[in-house]
């Protein structure tokens, strides 16, 4: 299990990720072959300053935290959008990305971590799709947020706060 805070920029949308993002996964050998099992992603919705939007990071259907010389891991996300109590409400399910076209991250290490900790991670090369399930507000959001956004126009940086290895019986 790992927790991280950081920042996210997708198109014109900038979101501080001040509350910890928690990723739970397991890895090991089964019948001599290396396997990974995704256990969950939990994050409190993050407020986008200067807007009524809250962004909810959700699991997008794939992950791979097997590190190599080029990456720390990969993670697909769906960025749920909520307008809170704004006069114009976004439909339930409104998001950047979808199960069919998630935001696909390839995270690279950008720091030398202390023993037992993960490095700070970032991706500056991911593309961001248009909004999905936003109804008639979708084209307006796309224009306001400059979506879809090409690789190089987006960034996520995660500073790892904790990393723990526990038996399954101790997981929350």
Q: pLDDT for 83-123, tens place per residue? A: 988 888 999 999 999 999 999 999 998 988 777 677 889 99
The pLDDT value given to residue 169: 60
Asked if the bond preceding 77 is cis, omega within 30° of 0, the reply is no
Closest by CA position to 15, among listed 55, 52, 60: 55
Indicate the length of the chain as a whole number: 172
Q: For the segment 41-88, what is each residue's pLDDT rounded down to a tens digit?
A: 999 999 999 999 999 999 999 888 777 778 888 999 999 999 988 888
The DSSP secondary-structure symbol of 103 reads E
Compute CA distances 133 → 29, 90, 93, 123, 159, whole Å.
Answer: 39, 9, 6, 26, 31
Domain boundaries, the chain: 2-165
């Amino acid at each position: 299990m790992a927790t991280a805070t950081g920042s996210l920029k997708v198109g014109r949308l900038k979101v501080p990720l001040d509350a910890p993002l928690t990723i739970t996964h397991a890895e090991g050998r089964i019948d001599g072959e290396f396997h990974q099992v995704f256990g969950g992603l939990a994050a409190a919705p993050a407020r986008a300053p200067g807007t009524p939007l809250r962004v909810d990071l959700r699991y997008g259907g794939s992950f791979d935290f097997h590190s190599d010389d080029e990456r720390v891991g990969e993670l697909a996300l769906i960025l749920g959008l909520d307008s809170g109590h704004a006069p114009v409400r976004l439909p339930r399910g409104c998001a950047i990305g979808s199960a069919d076209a998630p935001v696909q991250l390839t995270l690279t290490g950008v720091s030398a971590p202390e023993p037992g900790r993960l490095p700070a991670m970032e991706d500056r090369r991911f593309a961001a799709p248009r909004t999905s399930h936003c109804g008639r507000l979708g084209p307006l959001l796309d224009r306001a947020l400059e979506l879809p956004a090409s690789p190089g126009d987006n960034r996520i940086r995660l500073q790892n706060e904790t990393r723990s290895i526990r038996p399954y019986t101790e997981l929350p």
